């Protein structure tokens, strides 16, 4: 299974991560989102939490990138910060385990996370914010690097994919995952042109609350301009 995701070309990965505490935040709905995405042409899934990974794994043998998000008092790192998280995701059935690969204060060194992921027989996906994150992650043995955290470590939240980072990472490895702000079909195409091998789409497919807010914001702006 692990080699299968590495072999994907131009693969679409759908991130089925509901808004925490929202009406979609239940295992049956996450499984339904996952199966619907696969029916629409996705080749893999990105799932948060060991419980949801386990539920989706029971419903499909499609490749799963698993992660666990935590809000820690002692570190800004949220994605799979602990060794116990890696172990839980591996046991739940994830094929790839994603972790925060940024160079920030963290509870466990990234190299230790990668070693644990590989010891469990899984692939390691480094969620990066800048190209030096990717370079360090590859030196530590990460199997793929993603643009997941570009713009999310400081400053205003981004609204466009970081094509420059994707291109810079492609110079380091062919196993580049475009993730973050892929809101339109053209964004996915642009990410492939920039050098991505896989593209992760999340909110635009599986978070209707977010998509609805995008429409609402543009409509409010249009109405304001019309009535000015």
User: Does position 166 have pLDDT exceeding 60, yes or no?
Assistant: yes
Axis-axis angle for helices 50-59, 27-39 (nearest 10): 50
Spatial neighbors of 11 by CB under 8 A, at least 6 apart, are: 5, 43, 44, 197, 198, 199
Q: Is residue 131 part of a domain?
A: yes
Query: Once rounded to an integer, what is the mean pLDDT over residues 9-26?
Result: 95
Report pLDDT for 2: 61
Over residues 148-161, the pLDDT tens digits come to 999 999 878 888 99
% of residues, the chain, pLDDT over 90: 90
Give me the chain's average pLDDT, please: 95
Q: Is residue 211 part of a domain?
A: yes
Domain carrying residue 34:
10-221
Over residues 43-86, the pLDDT tens digits come to 999 999 999 999 999 999 999 999 999 999 999 999 999 999 99
Domain of 187: which CATH number?
Answer: 3.20.20.70
Query: Is residue 226 very low, low, confident or very high in pLDDT (cuts 50, 70, 90)?
Result: confident
Q: Are 167 and 193 in contact (CB under 8 A)?
A: no
Domain count, the chain: 1
């Amino acid at each position: 299974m692990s080699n299968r995701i590495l072999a994907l070309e131009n693969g679409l990965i759908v991130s089925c991560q509901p808004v925490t505490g929202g009406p979609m935040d239940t295992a049956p709905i996450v499984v339904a989102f996952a199966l619907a995405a696969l029916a629409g042409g996705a080749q893999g899934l990105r799932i948060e939490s060991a419980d949801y990974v386990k539920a989706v794994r029971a419903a499909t043998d499609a490749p799963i990138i698993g992660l666990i998000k935590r809000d820690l008092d002692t570190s800004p790192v949220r994605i799979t910060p602990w060794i116990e998280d890696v172990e839980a995701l591996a046991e739940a059935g994830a094929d790839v385990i994603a972790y925060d690969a940024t160079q920030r204060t963290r509870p466990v060194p990234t190299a230790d996370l990668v070693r644990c992921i590989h010891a469990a027989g899984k692939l390691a996906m480094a969620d990066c914010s800048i190209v030096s994150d990717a370079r360090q992650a590859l030196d530590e043995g990460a199997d793929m690097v993603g643009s997941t955290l570009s713009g999310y470590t400081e400053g205003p939240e981004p609204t466009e994919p970081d094509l420059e980072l994707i291109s810079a990472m492609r110079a380091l490895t062919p196993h580049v995952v475009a993730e973050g702000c892929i809101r339109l079909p053209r964004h996915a195409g642009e990410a492939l042109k920039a050098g991505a091998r896989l593209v992760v789409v999340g909110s635009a497919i599986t978070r209707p609350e977010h998509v609805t807010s995008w429409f609402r914001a543009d409509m409010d702006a249009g109405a304001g301009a019309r009535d000015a």
